[in-house]
Amino acid sequence: EQFFQHTVNDLFYTALTGFNHAKPQFTSGKALTIHSGLWGNGDFRNSEAVICLTQCLAAQQPGPFLLTA
- pLDDT tens-digit series, residues 10-29: 889 988 888 888 777 776 66
| Strand ranges, E, within 14-68 | none
Question: Can you give the length of the chain in residues?
Answer: 69
Kindly compute the dihedral angle of the four CA atoms of residues 62, 63, 66, 67, in this order, to the nearest 10 degrees. 50
Cα–Cα distance for residue pair 59/64, rounded to 1 Å = 11
What mean pLDDT is reported for the chain?
77
Q: For residue 14, which of 51, 46, 43 has the smallest C-alpha distance?
A: 51
The pTM of this model reads 0.70
Q: Tens digit of pLDDT for each residue in 39-54?
A: 777 677 778 888 888 8
16, burial (CB in 10 Å: exposed 0-12, middle 13-18, buried 19+): buried
What's the confidence (pLDDT) of residue 69?
A: 40
